[in-house]
Homo-oligomer: A and B are copies of this chain.
Amino acid sequence: MIDKRVGSTREAVADIFDGATVMIGGFGEAGSPIELIHALIDQGAKGLTVVSNNTGTGLVGLAALLRAERVSKVICSFPKTAGSTVFPDLYRAGKIELELVPQGTLAERIRAGGAGIVAFYTPTAVGTPLAEGKESRVFGNREHVLEYGIRADFTLIKGCKADTHGNVLYHRTARNFAPMMATAATVTIVQAADVVEAGALDPEAIVTPGIFVDRVVHVASPALESALNEAGASYP
């Protein structure tokens, strides 16, 4: 009998430690695991390195985690979405470190980390400031840059449906980074609006197989960043 369910978001994130590297799914608000992020704010871990495509908007979710000054570094491709003020303010104040990575390289580095590929050569970013200081090499007359796999201690992602074995489905463009992030952390934590018994999902259609998932927590009606921001919410 395998059952990866945990009773609450609080329980799910209880062991995230100071200084941990945490991958957080989402592209904009699509796929952002807001309830897990809020539980992490409550939990109090600090000095985190966060790997996420964006840095959140308004004063909720990822932006709220940054605003609480729990994050010392972000690894990110696009930290200045419209409506994003928390990160820019912290960055200009020198209170947060940024490792800027092209979006596709970020995705591939996370995938590599999860797949046991220590490093790879990509043509992306050659000749740009983001390749400066990196090892490069010419293959077939074209220059490539060496990029390294990334791994994390924890991954927080949002599925639309999960089963007790940890198999996960996503909703539309909420999928984005979650399938790779699920593979690249020591502990992968999924919040899902619907949690079903093993056997209820079509084995042909599963996006993240359960082997990559450690904990599943039921969040019946996940909040959306845009709705919270329109309501003027801030967390905590």
Contact = CB atoms under 8 A, between A and B. Distances in A.
B118 A139 contact: yes
A144 interface: yes
A117 B119 CA distance: 11
A204 interface: yes
A112 interface: yes
A69 to B, nearest CB: 31
B118 A117 contact: no
A44 B203 CA distance: 39
B120 A121 contact: yes
Contacts of A119: 120-121, 139, 144
A115 interface: yes
A169 B204 contact: yes
A118 to B, nearest CB: 5
A129 interface: no
Nearest to A138: B118
A144 B118 contact: yes
Nearest to A207: B204
Given A108-B115, A115-B108, A172 B204 contact: yes
A226 interface: no
Interface string A195-209: 000000011110100
Given A204-B169, A205-B204, A120 B123 contact: no
A122 interface: yes
Nearest to A117: B120
Contacts of A144: 118-119
Interface string A45-72: 0000000000000000000000000000
A118 B123 contact: yes
Interface of A: 108, 112, 115-123, 139-140, 142, 144, 169-170, 172, 202-205, 207
15 contacts: A108-B115, A108-B117, A112-B120, A116-B122, A116-B123, A117-B121, A117-B122, A118-B139, A118-B142, A119-B120, A119-B139, A119-B144, A120-B121, A169-B204, A172-B204
Given A117-B122, A118-B144, A120-B120, 9 more contacts: A108-B117, A112-B120, A116-B122, A118-B122, A118-B123, A119-B121, A120-B121, A170-B204, A202-B205
